[in-house]
Structure 1
Amino acid sequence: MKSLKFLALAVAFGFMLSASAEEHLKSLNPAYFDKSTPAGEDFYKHVNKGWQESHPLTPEHARYGNFNILSDSSEARVKDIVLNLGATNPKPGSVAFKVWTIYSQAMDSVRRNAEGAKPILADLKKIETTPADSMENLFLWLHANYASPFFSAGPMEDLADSKVYAMYVSGGGMGLGDRDYYLLDDARNKKVREAYKKLIVTQMRNAGYSKKDANRVMNNVMKIETALADSAWTREQSRNIPAMYNPRSFEQLKAMYPNINWDRFFIETMGIKSPESVIVTELSSVAQANNLMGSLTDREIKDYYLWKYVSQAAGMLSDDFANAAFEFNKVVSGVQQQRPRWKRALGAAEGAMGEAVGQLYVEKYFPESSKQYMLGLVENLRTALGKHIINLPWMSDDTKLNAIKKLNAFTVKIGYPDKWKDYSSMTIDPKLSYYENMHNVSMWHQKEELAKWGKPVDKTEWGMTPQTVNAYYNPLANEIVFPAAILQAPFFDPESSDAENYGGIGVVIGHEMTHGFDDQGRNFDAEGNMVNWWTPEDTEAFAKLTQGLVAQFDEVEVLPGLHANGQYTLGENIADQGGLRVAMTAFLDSQKKKGVDIKSPEAKIDGYDPMQVFYLNYANLWAQNTREEEIRSLTSGDVHSLGENRVNVTLRNLTPFFEAFGIKKGDKMYRPAEELVVIW
């Protein structure tokens, strides 16, 4: 069984400094600018071509950009922390001992290769030998301990009352995740599908099955997962949050899906009595799971269970399993070389005890002064967004008041949690195999999630670790969260100009704030409850504007014959535009307070106007190289637009950008006034 999370994630950040007598570019490197490509022709290329040429993709990367550089920096710091833990010869049972043991076992390929599939053989035998009259027991055992066949379930904040937990039942059970991989017959999806079939056969052979049996497992898995895909929601449908809120009484749940013993399910997989009501997110998907569980043969179901079990275990077994998974990843993303083992081992340690590592990270690398700076900048951005809301021409005064109420209620979390997780009850034993220890870790986290049931929602909890290079807005808590690791150059540099910092970290803070008012966030009120606080007229006006933005991205051909998906990426595109507009307002306000005339020659930064520097550094954030396979994968499965489109398509709606670079009619970056889409 896996827990459910609802987080609209996206990156963000910001900071403001006092102006110096003479300023120079710090976050930006003009040597990377392509002067042969005018800003009005292709702004992304104008800013980033030199960077792209100087940072060719290495075999281990499907894409690489400034975010990766920041992640590399954080990763190097975490590696240093973990290695130092090992050097202290930590006491058995201590947090340091647990972190070091996980890392060491993940690095110990000799032991893991010698063990091969032995750590999972007893469980595979259990699946194989379960008699017909115990198939229900097998289903419950698998859900409680290892995987989520057919569907998933778990507690999460109630969308209608975010102070309490509700029980959710959702579709799932597809190894490839997205329905299109199973259902579309274009060359790309066929290629991925064939690679997935090969992966299943190879991993089952690695687990000790004959070629004949491995092929049988593969065929049955594809039959079942394709049927699940046939009823699954599209990516676009999954963005309709209100449509996913389908409360049902427990008696209704049992009547709708009778092939599942729901009383036993909740008692034996979660250790709780049957809830009075549940929320079914995708009615059609759970109905299909119910149908399959009542119509498939025991052999078909067992083969599906075998694969669900082996696929979740593969990353913790021998190199044969890891290599097979990598061969599949090569097809999906185009990456040519596995990440170094030490990086994968660090990922395991952080996945197991992320806040324990994060606490050490914060102590060493995150001064309190950075937190205070960030808090001040967030308030500047909050004030700027308030100005935008008040002056919106398309929104009524009543809805504006509710929007301001929500904005003022934002909770801001900077750097690290106020209280850290207690890992003292987690058991890590070097005598056990790596797989056994990681399974115990998984059970510990699952128990932690299930312990929330029946208790008030803890609004202090974080959804990311401090060492994560990212940020997020959580609509159920109406909060914006900025982990410590993103507060580094090129997003934030205390030595950089205000223009660079507002165009970098400031935009990202504005981005997260705008998520509270994007196509998903707008469904929630100041308390984080799914409440319609919009007038019908404002809802209609918002929808019209968003469809205009959808059309702008839809028309972009990212590869021959492949267009961007404006509807699926709508929330991020709204937030990108909002972040740019709000950060610019905050930047101009900050300069006015300081008495700086940004149009004066004295305000120039290495010859560039501050307004130009603001937009240049925004484009600089998205500098990256991406393989063709990864472009296809991201276009089909990522809610974020490609970096080039986050720059070029978004900026083409901003008149101040045109003015900063003298972009005029006839330039490719120009968009006539009647076609501009401005939302927040």
Structure 2
Amino acid sequence: MKSLKLFMALALTGALTLSAEEHLKSLNPAYFDKSTPASVDFYKHVNKGWQDAHPLTPEFARYGNFNILNDSSEIRVKNIVLNLGATNPQPGTVAFKVWTIYSQAMDSVRRNAEGAKPILADLKKIETTPHEGMEDLFLWMHGNYASPFFGAGPMEDLSNSKVYAMYVSGGGMGLGDRDYYLQNDKRNKEVREAYQKLIVKQMQNAGYSKKDANRIMKNVMKIETALADSAWTREQSRNIPAMYNPRSFEQLKQMYPNVNWDRFFIETMGIESPASVIVTELSSVAQANNLMGSLTDREIKDYYLWKYVAQAASALSDDFTNASFEFNKIMSGVEQQRPRWKRALGATEGAMGEAVGQLYVEKYFPESSKEYMLDLVENLRTALGKHIINLTWMSDDTKLNAIKKLNAFTVKIGYPDKWKDYTTLNIDPKLSYYENMHNVGMWHQAETYAKWGKPVDRTEWGMTPQTVNAYYNPLANEIVFPAAILQAPFFDPEASDAENYGGIGVVIGHEMTHGFDDQGCNFDAEGNMVNWWTPEDSEAFSKLTKGLVTQFDEIEVLPGLHANGQYTLGENIADQGGLRVSRTAFLDSQKKKGVDINSPEAKIDGYDPMQVYYMNYANIWAGNIRDEEIRNLTTGDVHSLGENRVNVTLRNIAPFFEAFGIKAGDKMYRPAEERVVIW
């Protein structure tokens, strides 16, 4: 383990170049709202003009700078795919498979003519299975990735992340979150009613009478509501240690006897029964077991019918996709379906994303951007080390472990070193679009199951290069930045250091501090779930996080609806940590280059560099959003709304007040004794 002294000796390398006279690149001053002072509403001060210039179109439930980058990425990927088609690729090649999926997704004439035909044989199989074949049917459903009642599969062992463990988890609910089934407020009832209409409509699209469709809906709601009743809350699901419940295979069979576990693993995954499994939500799997032993064949078949149709709908005719869209309108408030080419592109990337990504980086990702990012990451790593060392609430023993974890971070930028091999994926234009997409699903499922018994491959990526996002993976202790996010306003080699550190610098710091948030703190430098905190440090950390939870809980996002500070805690910790750490890295980079950021010469189009830094942070969250989507995200998203990621977070940061002269009595000001400082 490196000592604190040795770590802090790391040099700040590769700072971005500073031109003699800098101008704003990522920020557009025309969007600043001078009628709203920074001291009153900083988000509006920076973004009101952007919001006015980008009104929501019927296609979107929300639209922001992330969407602008995503639009750019989509156009690029579309051109890549169309160019593949223009080359008349040979059957069996990756280009042929990509082009076949895209062209079939675009071929609404064929899909509408086929209607529900591609799935009728499978629906008949469900309907005609006799009582003595119900166990076979259950295994067949899981083998076809529909996963009724619960889910199972290999994933890194939380206690030994170098090997795979077998997990059994709760699930089986089409609406995902338990509150949609159990809460009786106006919003949840509205969603429930829309879901019931969706089930009836889709089953009619599949050829069932209205009477039978209604029966199926009622049985589905009975089963999924029962599953919801035992499901964990959103807040409980963030308690990672509580979800780690190892059981021997014999214990698994005794606890949940209504599943033939020997057959389950052999016939759905093609593996021998594991010596042990990890059950995540014990109550949820117990409820699934109870239901499987108490429901009638008819009830179970109706549930299977819906699970099968639901997973198939997006690859069938317009009747199916239009019904899904009508439900989405209620969930998100979106008024118009995305253009068919965007939906086709999404399906293609979901099927063969890395094949497209390989072409994307060859054309659109210069190696110089990767080099810039590597330098920025090291600057941020050094800065976070300083913050850890200077913490007043953490003991030296825990600090040493934190620094060890920080030094062990793996950094992935742009694209994987090793690409997926799609040779064995069968895509045939003679098959229906649904059949080909089913082959895709089965291929990806087989790829997952094939990991069993092998060492964990740390070279894998969880996102494609063309994805506008980034992530931290605690089980690999890695931070990952796909190529597509490395664009303005996040990153621009021609922009000022202040803009880049306020954009991608904060993103880097955000992902790094995820390694130490309310979930990341459960994992050590090797990615293993090990408690490396002293009890006193854990208590101090918990006390600080409770203060942050309260700050967000107080925000009323819509009349009568408050933000969920506990559910969004990890992201809120990371936002604040990213801002603090990136600021330190920015100041260090300027000092190294001999730049006095307080001098008149350092101004950027009349703004102090620190003002530009905070303004570009606010700028990356610029966006518009519908009320329905606000409700939807507040229910199911671990991220706070963009406006709160700016205004609530910045009210804890004293240097922000200094940059804009914010003082006691101003709306954006928060007294020192009420501020929460974690990292």
**1:251-300 alpha-carbon deviations (Å, 9 max, x no partner):** 00000001111011001100101000000000000000000000000000
CA distance in 2, matches of 1:320, 1:380: 53
Runs ≥4 in structure 1, deviation > 6 angstroms?
Answer: none
CA distance in 2, matches of 1:447, 1:167: 15
Q: What SS is found at the alignment partner of 2:233?
A: coil
Q: What SS is found at the alignment partner of 1:157?
A: strand
CA distance in 1, matches of 2:507, 2:66: 13
Contact residue 355 and residue 420 of structure 2 kept, 8 A? yes
Q: In the TM superposition, what is the alpha-carbon distance from 1:367 to its structure 2 partner?
A: 1.0
1:665 match: 664
Q: What SS is found at the alignment partner of 1:516?
A: helix
1:600 match: 599
> 2:319 matched to 1:320?
yes
1:435 match: 434
Report matched runs for 1:223-622 at 5 Å: 223-622=222-621
Contact residue 145 and residue 445 of structure 2 kept, 8 A? no
Q: In the TM superposition, what is the alpha-carbon distance from 1:15 to its structure 2 partner?
A: 9.1
**1:490-528 alpha-carbon deviations (Å, 9 max, x no partner):** 111111100000000100000000000000000000000
CA distance in 1, matches of 2:23, 2:144: 57
Q: TM-score by structure 2 length?
A: 0.98
Report matched runs for 1:105-144 at 5 Å: 105-144=104-143
CA distance in 1, matches of 2:146, 2:403: 43
Count of residue pairs brought into register by the alignment: 667
* RMSD value, Cα: 0.8
CA distance in 2, matches of 1:587, 1:46: 23
1:7 match: none
CA distance in 2, matches of 1:392, 1:448: 44
1:5 match: none
Q: Which amino acid aligns with 2:295?
A: L
Give the gaps of 5 or more residues in structure 1: 1-13
CA distance in 1, matches of 2:237, 2:487: 34
CA distance in 2, matches of 1:431, 1:21: 61
**1:19-76 alpha-carbon deviations (Å, 9 max, x no partner):** 1111111110111111111101000010011100110000000000000000000000
> 2:630 matched to 1:625?
no
1:33 match: 32
CA distance in 1, matches of 2:327, 2:134: 31
Give the gaps of 5 or more residues in structure 2: 1-12
Contact residue 16 and residue 501 of structure 1 kept, 8 A? no
2:10 match: none
Q: What SS is found at the alignment partner of 1:421?
A: coil
**1:552-610 alpha-carbon deviations (Å, 9 max, x no partner):** 00000000100000000000000000000000000000000011110011111011000
Contact residue 469 and residue 482 of structure 2 kept, 8 A? yes
Q: In the TM superposition, what is the alpha-carbon distance from 1:16 to its structure 2 partner?
A: 4.4
Contact residue 415 and residue 483 of structure 1 kept, 8 A? yes
Contact residue 369 and residue 493 of structure 2 kept, 8 A? no
1:148 match: 147
Q: Which amino acid aligns with 1:243?
A: A
Q: What SS is found at the alignment partner of 2:168?
A: strand
CA distance in 2, matches of 1:360, 1:227: 46
Q: In the TM superposition, what is the alpha-carbon distance from 1:369 to its structure 2 partner?
A: 1.0
CA distance in 2, matches of 1:80, 1:304: 41
Q: What SS is found at the alignment partner of 1:443?
A: helix
CA distance in 2, matches of 1:86, 1:237: 48
CA distance in 2, matches of 1:607, 1:368: 33
CA distance in 1, matches of 2:389, 2:634: 35
Percent of matched pairs sharing the same residue: 88
Q: In the TM superposition, what is the alpha-carbon distance from 1:343 to its structure 2 partner?
A: 0.4
Q: What SS is found at the alignment partner of 1:84?
A: helix
Contact residue 238 and residue 567 of structure 2 kept, 8 A? yes
Q: Which amino acid aligns with 1:552?
A: Q
Q: In the TM superposition, what is the alpha-carbon distance from 1:132 to its structure 2 partner?
A: 0.5
CA distance in 1, matches of 2:303, 2:89: 42
CA distance in 1, matches of 2:320, 2:145: 17
1:198 match: 197
Q: In the TM superposition, what is the alpha-carbon distance from 1:164 to its structure 2 partner?
A: 0.2
1:638 match: 637
**1:464-507 alpha-carbon deviations (Å, 9 max, x no partner):** 00000001000000000000111111111111100000000100
Q: Which amino acid aligns with 1:224?
A: I
Q: In the TM superposition, what is the alpha-carbon distance from 1:146 to its structure 2 partner?
A: 3.5
CA distance in 2, matches of 1:202, 1:336: 19
Contact residue 15 and residue 505 of structure 1 kept, 8 A? no
Contact residue 15 and residue 502 of structure 1 kept, 8 A? no
Report matched runs for 1:74-93 at 5 Å: 74-93=73-92
**1:91-133 alpha-carbon deviations (Å, 9 max, x no partner):** 1100000000000000000000000000000000000000001
**1:424-462 alpha-carbon deviations (Å, 9 max, x no partner):** 111100000000001111111111111110000000110
